[in-house]
């Protein structure tokens, strides 16, 4: 184990930041490259190659998204208590490499025989197991790589915020190139090429992290190495048992993901039981119950009110990402089926266009980083809840842009790609107003001894938003009878209905948040 740098020692730096920051930057950049590259292709792969119905495609995407954001709660706790962040990231990285490379095994394409879909059962089992590997891998890697970045800086180090800004740029740099490269390979040369490229990217990220461990300055090591090495079951140490239990959990996830039936009764009469969703409910109730118990038994009045505000911000982000995550669901099929793809002298596939989100974040992030301090000095900087309200409203407006495009198709009956690009731009402005603000609120307003627990609540909220986004997407499901082609006008009408409903959710929720802003500000007790 490398020793933690002493106060009088100056750790290795590059461009004014610890070298460990760049190790984390590149690791997360490649991890996000592989994650979003695979996600850009996932729904299209299901409905085009394995001939899933739209409903089952949305179900599986929702199940995957729900689980992939629920497991970081467990991965973060295991790292904090026993493994340490370095070991958790390495273990998660190995799982991710195996999972993404496994996705490259396509098998035989599905076919329809007398109206019955015949699929390659073996290839599907490999596919489901690969998804389970990715879900568990993200659970170990994602919450811990960010924590390492924070530990590279002292408590009052003025470089901390700019360090996290660079780290966030790495996330979106990976996301920007992932859809373009993986999507192009997958839709041009074969799905396995796109998924395989995602696997190679994750392999590069893991190699980078293994090479750069010496620059982490010992901050990512286990909290109690002796306890981790202690034998607890015959020759097996506590560390061995954690890995074995994780593998057992992998088998459980493999079984659950095959149900691909995760959704809620958000429409009357619309409910199907799901063991995964019931498990999420159980975790959510236990987490909320524990938080409320802590708030009413261990907090002062001021702390309790601030904690209520944290729960409110988690709820704001849950609603926003319920509409946002349709960018990997209904937006993908909308752009694939009913949109003209030519722009800037090139044809852009639906999977490639998923990179627009990360691209606009890269463009907007420095603008907002410049804007907020200047508004603060001028006395015009909106409060955190007001920014969240505006972000939700803009999220809804982005869907109104798509409604306009659906109602004003071009001469060939398809929509204009530039309206789609503009919708992404508006949506990402909404994200910049809401997501970083919500994360900041969780860290600033949570009682320090339960900050990690509240971050777990944040991830669980994101998990629910994935499920709800898939449920909303099903409102636009289109089934094309065998031997027939898509009726574009009918499809546009379906997407129009979904996008109007989604716009109402975003705008309505945003207006409600603005109405509640005075109360929320009062309960923040001076925190800006």
pLDDT at 416: 96
Structure tokens at 129: 């197991």
- pLDDT tens digits, one per residue of 412-448: 999 999 999 999 999 999 998 888 777 777 777 877 7
Checking if the pLDDT of 263 tops 70, the result is no
Checking if the pLDDT of 481 tops 60, the result is yes
pLDDT bin (cut points 50, 70, 90) of residue 267 is: very low
Can you tell me which residue has the tokens 């946002």?
Answer: 324
pLDDT at 459: 80
pLDDT at 148: 82
Looking at per-residue pLDDT, the higher value among 261 and 316 belongs to 316
259 burial class (0-12, 13-18, 19+ CB within 10 angstroms)?
A: middle
* 339-371 residues labelled b (16+ CB within 10 A) or e (exposed): bbbeeeeeebbbbbbbbbbbbbbbebbeeeeee
pLDDT bin (cut points 50, 70, 90) of residue 374 is: confident
pLDDT bin (cut points 50, 70, 90) of residue 452 is: low
How confident is the model over 156-173, as a mean pLDDT?
A: 73
How confident is the model over 93-116, as a mean pLDDT?
A: 91
Looking at per-residue pLDDT, the higher value among 128 and 294 belongs to 128
Beta strands 236-237 and 342-343 are: unpaired
pLDDT bin (cut points 50, 70, 90) of residue 4 is: very low
Instruction: Say whether 300 sits in a helix, a strand or coil.
Output: coil
Q: Are 476 and 333 in contact (CB under 8 A)?
A: yes
Q: For residue 220, how many C-alpha atoms fall within 13 Å in the half-sphere facing its CB?
A: 29
All structural domains of the chain, each given as residue ranges with its CATH number in brackets, are: 21-259 (1.20.1250.20), 299-478+486-527 (1.20.1250.20)
Structure tokens at 273: 């039981």
How confident is the model over 506-512, as a mean pLDDT?
A: 97
Residue 411: CB atoms within 10 A of its CB come to: 6
Beta strands 111-113 and 231-233 are: unpaired
pLDDT at 274: 58
Looking at per-residue pLDDT, the higher value among 18 and 49 belongs to 49
Structure tokens at 201: 């990217």
Measured distance CA(374)–CA(381) in Å, rounded: 8
Instruction: Say whether 308 sits in a helix, a strand or coil.
Output: helix
Does an H or E element contain 237, and which? strand 236-237
Checking if the pLDDT of 400 tops 90, the result is yes
Q: Which has the closest alpha carbon to 495: 477, 511, 508, 507? A: 477
Question: How many residues does this entry show for the chain?
Answer: 528
Looking at per-residue pLDDT, the higher value among 260 and 135 belongs to 135
Please give the radius of gyration of the chain, using alpha carbons only, rounded to the nearest integer: 23
Structure tokens at 374: 């200047």
Q: Which of 56-70, 189-203, 312-326, 382-396 has the lowest mean pLDDT?
A: 56-70
How confident is the model over 367-394, as a mean pLDDT?
A: 88
How confident is the model over 31-51, as a mean pLDDT?
A: 92
pLDDT bin (cut points 50, 70, 90) of residue 156 is: low
Measured distance CA(49)–CA(45) in Å, rounded: 5
Phi, psi for residue 13 in degrees, rounded to 5: -125, 160
Mean pLDDT of the chain: 86
Q: What percent of the chain has pLDDT over 70?
A: 91
pLDDT at 268: 37
pLDDT bin (cut points 50, 70, 90) of residue 372 is: confident
* 422-451 residues labelled b (16+ CB within 10 A) or e (exposed): bbbbbbbbbbbbbbbbbbebbeebbbeebe
Phi, psi for residue 342 in degrees, rounded to 5: -90, 130
Structure tokens at 422: 């503009």
Can you tell me which residue has the tokens 């852009």?
Answer: 348
Query: For residue 347, what are the β-bridge partners?
Result: 342
Q: Are 287 and 457 in contact (CB under 8 A)?
A: yes
Checking if the pLDDT of 98 tops 80, the result is yes
Measured distance CA(260)–CA(317) in Å, rounded: 24
- pLDDT tens digits, one per residue of 42-62: 999 999 999 999 988 998 998
pLDDT bin (cut points 50, 70, 90) of residue 278 is: low
pLDDT bin (cut points 50, 70, 90) of residue 260 is: low
For residue 156, the 8-state DSSP code is T
């Amino acid at each position: 184990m490398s020793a933690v740098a002493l106060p009088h020692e100056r750790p290795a730096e590059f461009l004014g930041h610890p070298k460990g920051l760049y190790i984390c930057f590149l690791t997360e950049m490649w991890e996000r490259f592989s994650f979003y590259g695979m996600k850009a292709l996932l729904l299209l792969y299901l409905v085009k190659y394995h001939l899933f119905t739209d409903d089952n495609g949305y179900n599986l995407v929702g199940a995957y998204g729900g689980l992939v954001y629920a497991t970081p709660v467990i991965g973060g706790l295991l790292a904090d208590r026993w493994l340490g962040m370095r070991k958790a990231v390495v273990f998660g990285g190995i799982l991710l490499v195996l999972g993404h490379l496994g996705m490259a095994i396509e098998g035989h394409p599905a076919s329809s025989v007398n109206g019955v879909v015949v699929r390659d059962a073996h290839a599907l089992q490999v596919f489901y197991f690969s998804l389970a590997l990715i879900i568990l891998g993200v659970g170990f890697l994602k919450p811990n790589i960010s924590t390492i970045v924070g530990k590279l800086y002292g408590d009052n180090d003025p470089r901390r915020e700019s360090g996290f800004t660079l780290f966030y740029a790495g996330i979106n740099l990976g996301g920007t190139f992932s859809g373009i490269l993986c999507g192009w390979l997958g839709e041009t040369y074969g799905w396995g090429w796109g998924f395989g490229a995602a696997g190679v990217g994750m392999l590069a990220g893991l190699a980078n992290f293994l090479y750069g461990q010496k620059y982490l300055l010992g901050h990512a090591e286990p909290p109690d190495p002796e306890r981790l090495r202690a034998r607890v079951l015959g020759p097996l140490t506590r560390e061995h048992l954690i890995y074995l239990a994780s593998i057992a959990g992998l088998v459980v996830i493999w079984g659950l993901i095959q149900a691909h039936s995760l959704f809620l009764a958000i429409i009357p009469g619309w409910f199907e039981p799901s063991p995964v969703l019931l498990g999420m409910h159980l975790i959510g109730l236990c987490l909320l119950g524990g938080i409320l118990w802590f708030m009413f038994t261990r907090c002062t009045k001021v702390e309790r009110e601030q904690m209520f505000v944290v729960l409110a911000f988690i709820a704001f982000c849950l609603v926003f990402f319920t509409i946002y995550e349709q960018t990997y669901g209904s937006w993908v099929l909308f752009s694939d089926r009913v949109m003209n793809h030519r722009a800037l002298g090139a044809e852009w596939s639906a999977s490639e266009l998923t990179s627009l989100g990360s691209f606009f974040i890269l463009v907007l992030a420095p603008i907002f980083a410049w804007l907020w301090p200047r508004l603060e000095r001028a006395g015009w900087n909106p409060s955190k809840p007001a920014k969240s309200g505006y972000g939700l409203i803009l999220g809804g407006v982005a869907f109104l842009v798509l409604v306009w495009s659906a109602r004003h198709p071009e001469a060939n009956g398809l929509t204009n790609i530039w309206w789609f690009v503009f919708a992404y731009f508006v949506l990402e402005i909404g994200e910049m107003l809401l997501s970083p603000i919500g994360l900041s609120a969780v860290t600033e307003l949570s009682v320090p001894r339960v900050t990690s627990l509240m971050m777990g609540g944040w991830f669980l909220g994101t998990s629910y938003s994935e499920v709800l986004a898939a449920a909303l997407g099903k409102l636009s499901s289109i089934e094309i009878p065998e031997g027939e082609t898509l009726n574009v006008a009918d499809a546009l009408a379906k997407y129009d209905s979904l996008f109007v409903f989604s716009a109402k959710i975003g705008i309505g929720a945003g207006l409600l948040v603005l109405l509640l802003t005075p109360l929320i500000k009062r309960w923040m007790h001076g925190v800006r």
